[in-house]
Amino acid sequence: MRSFISVDIEDEEVLSTLHDLTREVSNTDAKVNPVPRENLHITLKFLGDIEDTRVPEIKKIIKQYATDVEPFPLTLVGMGAFPSTKRPKVVWIGAENDQKLKNIANNISNDLERNGFRKDRHPYHSHVTLARIKWYTDQLKNVIATNEDTKVGEILVDNIKIKKSELTREGAIYSTVEKIELTGS
């Protein structure tokens, strides 16, 4: 099962704004593969292909950090790109005041690595992927620059999900395998 750990974007107003920004990126003359509205999320860790039997172990690791943290607000703001805005391959919206989320993601990642999961190649960066770019243009780079300070809105991080990703001809279909509540107890 191809899977990842995420915080889903569930606020309708924030989803609408993210979708509008995705359309703005898609309407450039660049070759763009937009993320569908229903798939917008913040990835905490990509797990890759795992056996279903590992889900309880992953859930246990997430739960030990989720139960220590109370639900908290996270502000989504600022369009950017990986690896850089000069050579965008992935266009995203970032987050500010995201230290709690970074701590959770890093703790989960470190524990998973100790349990045989692969190490992340890059430091954790809180973001919502809007689109993957096949080839970029100046018009796309201008859209990114114009939106570098755009405030999308605030979400409440109150749960973490283990998601399954099924690749189809129409694109990826995500489904929730497990949901772990942030309880702060």
Positive or negative, the CA dihedral 135, 29, 26, 74 is positive
pLDDT tens digits for 113-168? 999 999 888 899 999 999 999 999 999 999 999 999 999 999 999 999 999 999 99
pLDDT at 68: 87
Residue ranges and CATH numbers for the domains of the chain are 2-181 (3.90.1140.10)
120-151: burial string, b at 16+ Cβ within 10 Å, e else:
eeeebebbbbbbebeebeeebbebbeebeeee
Using omega within 30 degrees of 0 as the cis cutoff, is the peptide bond preceding 83 cis?
A: yes
Q: Which amino acid is residue 121, in one-letter code?
A: R
pLDDT at 185: 67
Q: Which residues are catalytic?
A: 41, 127
- Give the mean pLDDT of 65-93: 96
Question: Are the beta carbons of 51 and 129 closer than 8 angstroms?
Answer: no
Whole-prediction pTM: 0.94
SS3 145: helix
Q: What is the pLDDT of residue 184?
A: 81
At residue 90, does pLDDT exceed 90?
yes
Residues paired with 76 in a beta bridge: 95, 153
Average pLDDT over residues 82-93: 97
- In sequence order, what E strands does 10-58 have? 31-34, 41-49
| Residue 170 pLDDT level (bands cut at 50, 70, 90) | confident
What is the model's pLDDT at position 171? 86
Mean pLDDT of 165-183: 94
pLDDT of residue 181: 96
